[in-house]
Structure 1
């Protein structure tokens, strides 16, 4: 296993950025994907070839669709809770 500049084994991760969705890379295990901060500057793509524009577009469309479905699911669950509460309220009034 490759060690980073900090002397620790590198971590293999997956990029989910808009420009590089689904691409694997190795980096310092102290790399924080939320802040972009790294323990050291060790970074390299695992795949040799960049994805094509078509592949990038398809992956990004699928990720957006996944997010839309998750949002729709959340809205439907909220509506269900509201309907159940209304049913309970109406039952108590009768």
Structure 2
């Protein structure tokens, strides 16, 4: 499918708090930061989520971010320990 601007549309995934994980089709000129949609070619691919689905997905996304952050901290600590060990030897 092409947008009115002539560019093929793209299928993307929303990760907003209101629509986490929902698929949509939009003009490739769509700017997720400003919300501008090129020639307003936009439609959801899937049906609207229930409040429960939205809440569960948002909790899982937050948990993923927490785990990734903790992993980064552990990697930095491990690197520091390796560096300290090399200095002792």
Same fold (TM over 0.5): yes
In the TM superposition, residue 38 of structure 1 has moved relative to its aligned partner by 3.0
**Which stretch has the larger CA shift, 33-42 or 71-80?**
33-42
- Equivalent residue number for residue 90 of structure 1: 88
The alignment covers a number of residue pairs equal to 89
Q: Secondary structure at 1:57's aligned position in 2?
A: helix
Question: Which structure would you say has the larger Rg?
Answer: 1
- Is there any run of 5+ residues in structure 1 with no aligned partner, and where? none
- TM-score normalised per structure 1: 0.86
Root mean square deviation of aligned Cα: 1.2
Tell me the residue number matched to 1:19.
18
Partner of 1:6: 5
Give 5+ residue unaligned stretches, structure 2: none
Structure 2 equivalent of residue 28 of structure 1:
27
Task: Find runs of 4+ consecutive structure 1 residues off by over 4 angstroms.
Answer: none
Query: Distance between the aligned counterparts of 2:12 and 2:70, measured in 1?
Result: 29
